[in-house]
Amino acid sequence: MDWIIFLLVAGLILVVVEVFLPSGLFGVAGGLCLLVAIGMTYTSYGIEAGTWLLGAVIMATIVGLVLWVKYFPKTPTGRRMMLSETSANLSPERNYVALLGKRGVVRSQLRPAGVAEIEGQRLDVVTEGGMIEPGATVQVNVVDGTRIVVRKV
Which residues neighbour 48 within 8 Å (Cβ) at sequence distance 6 or greater?
Answer: none
CA angle 22–25–31, rounded 5-degree value? 105
Examine residue 88 and state whether it is found in any structural domain, yes or no: no
Predicted confidence (pLDDT) per residue in 70-91, tens digit: 988 888 878 887 776 655 554 5
**114 and 143 belong to one structural domain:** yes
Q: Are residues 50 and 117 in the same domain?
A: no
Q: Is residue 87 part of a domain?
A: no
Can you point out the beta strands (E) in 40-146? 103-106, 113-118, 121-127, 137-144
Domain that holds residue 120: 94-152
Q: How confident is the model at residue 20 (pLDDT cuts 50, 70, 90)?
A: confident
86 assigned to some structural domain: no
**Count of structural domains within the chain:** 2
Residue 118 counted as domain residue: yes
Task: Give the pTM.
Answer: 0.52
